[in-house]
A and B are shown apart, each in its own frame.
Chain A
Amino acid sequence: MTEQQWLKMYRETVHPLYGYMARRTRGNRELTEDIVQESYLRALDDWNRKSVPDSPLAWLKRVARNILIDYLRQKRWVNKENLDLIPDSGNQTSKDQFESLEIFLAISALGRKKARILEAFYYDGMSIREIAKEMAISERAVEGQLRRARQSLKSLLPDSRPNGGKNE
């Protein structure tokens, strides 16, 4: 991989990757930038040692997601009661962000299939039809899986959450 190929790949993937991560951090700019930056640095190291994957964006998304989950898990247990752990961003309060990130962490704790369908619907803004097409299943099946995933998520979220789960 030459420097030109590397930068071309970066320019092609940075916008979708940033959007993917920003939706999961509920627009927390600083956290999103850190994770995007770290994802590219890991990509450079990994791809130089091995080879460029078939789908660089998919690889980057997977790594970015894992970085976010690791980050949240660590912060959650170290600063459980500190609502300022996530810096302020845009028009959202730290409290809202924490709640959203708590939900994201709970989603990531679900099974892979449930997490995928919930993230696609709630974070990536995909319609039932789009998800059905991507997962190669019927729309009814998507609705059923989405319903079951929501129930699973609900059981994971504690009532002690800042808003008691009312926004869900």
Chain B
Amino acid sequence: MNEIYEPDNQFLERLEWQLSSEYRRASRLKPSSRKIAIPRRIVAAACMVGILMTGVAVIKAADYIQDSWRKKIEIARAETEIKLRKAHLESARELESRAEMRFSNGLIREEEFRMIQIAVKRAELDLKKSLLNLDEVKVSGEVPRNELYAPLVGGRDFVSERLKIEIEMIELDSEQFESRVKRYKQLVEKGLARGDELSQIQAEIASRKVMIDKIQERLDLRKRFVDGEVTAQEVEIRDRMTVAERNLNLAQSKVDSLKERLKRLKSLESERMINPMEIKQMQYALDAAQAELELAALEMDVLKKLK
């Protein structure tokens, strides 16, 4: 071989040294070049993980956006409700101030004025409840939950707070009925109203007391859940039992009341003072109430077995 086609040793040594230096320089500047030594299987696995992570990130981002929108919608809904409640309260207060003047002038009865005052209180409680809902939505970003096993939101027990408002609402109902009882008693004494009407109102008051007791039981149950004494499943069964028991009591009270009224109507029928159709209507109402009672009793049995 002609030696002009062969490199000389000086060139070879110089080039080898240069290529060695260049290699080290390139390695320093481009650490990513090491990836060549990584087995393809690992690279493929890493790529898969990367793709999955990207997918998860995209889904999470979509969820985040969706959640963010849901939160905005729920907050807007709660704020709209508050505006309506405020408007309602203002209107009730206006009515109350007018009624106060009319009552002081003797144009309306005390009972009527009392009813308007109760309406104002109810509007205040409605607003209080809406404000509570807004507070919850702002923290959770979701529709307020009323289950007794719902978790605390931002360390706050919104479920209990709503139950307490519910009690206040029922107490207002009872107050309203009591003022009617007072008036009906006077009417019955004067012979202007029947006694069964009075007993019906008294039954309503009794049922409100039962309702308050049951809510109080639910509050206790809620407290035990929050304190970790009972599980969510136990809370659910017990809560359903409380509701079923309340329904049972209400149904029983309704049946008792209807029986009393039917008895009275029958006595009036013997004296031919009423239309026989009224007795039939009352009998139908009693049958329906008894069916409700049986259903409530059946539900209680089922829940007791679950317990």
Q: A19-B6, A27-B4, A36-B7 are in contact. Are A45 and B26 (CB under 8 A)?
A: yes
Which chain B residues border A78 with CB–CB below 8 Å? none
| A contact face: mostly helix, strand, loop, or mixed | helix
Determine which of B1, B18, B30 lies in contact with A37 in the assembled complex, contact meaning CB atoms within 8 Å. B18
Interface flag for B24 (CB, 8 Å): yes
| B contact face: mostly helix, strand, loop, or mixed | helix
CA distance A40 to B44 in the complex (A): 30
CA distance A36 to B12 in the complex (A): 10
Tell me if A15 and B6 are in contact (CB < 8 A).
yes
Interface flag for A41 (CB, 8 Å): yes
Q: A1-B36, A14-B12, A19-B1 are in contact. Are A6 and B6 (CB under 8 A)?
A: no
Which residue of chain B has its CB nearest to the CB of A52?
Answer: B36
Determine which of A23, A41, A47, A48 lies in contact with B5 in the assembled complex, contact meaning CB atoms within 8 Å. A23
Interface flag for B273 (CB, 8 Å): no
Interface flag for A111 (CB, 8 Å): no
Determine how close the nearest CB of chain A comes to the CB of B189; give it in whole angstroms. Answer: 105
Determine which of B2, B8, B19 lies in contact with A10 in the assembled complex, contact meaning CB atoms within 8 Å. B19
Tell me if B20 and A3 are in contact (CB < 8 A).
yes
Tell me if B4 and A18 are in contact (CB < 8 A).
no
Tell me if A41 and B11 are in contact (CB < 8 A).
no
Chain A positions 10 through 36: 1 when the CB is less than 8 Å from some CB of chain B, otherwise 0: 110011001100110001010011001
Interface flag for A136 (CB, 8 Å): no
Determine which of B4, B5, B19, B30 lies in contact with A40 in the assembled complex, contact meaning CB atoms within 8 Å. B19
Give the contact-size bracket for chain A. 20 to 34
Chain B positions 13 through 24: 1 when the CB is less than 8 Å from some CB of chain A, otherwise 0: 001101110111
Interface flag for B33 (CB, 8 Å): yes
Determine how close the nearest CB of chain B comes to the CB of A126; give it in whole angstroms. Answer: 14
Tell me if B4 and A7 are in contact (CB < 8 A).
no
Determine which of A7, A23, A49, A89 lies in contact with B20 in the assembled complex, contact meaning CB atoms within 8 Å. A7
Determine how close the nearest CB of chain A comes to the CB of B248; give it in whole angstroms. Answer: 80
Tell me if A19 and B36 are in contact (CB < 8 A).
no
Which chain B residues border A22 with CB–CB below 8 Å? 4-6
> What are some 25 contacts across the A-B interface (CB < 8 A)?
A1-B36, A1-B37, A7-B20, A10-B19, A14-B15, A15-B6, A18-B5, A18-B6, A18-B7, A19-B5, A22-B5, A22-B6, A27-B2, A29-B4, A29-B8, A36-B15, A37-B18, A41-B22, A44-B26, A45-B26, A47-B36, A48-B33, A48-B36, A89-B4, A91-B4
A-B complex: 4 closest residue pairs judged by Cβ atoms: A27-B4, A48-B33, A18-B7, A22-B5
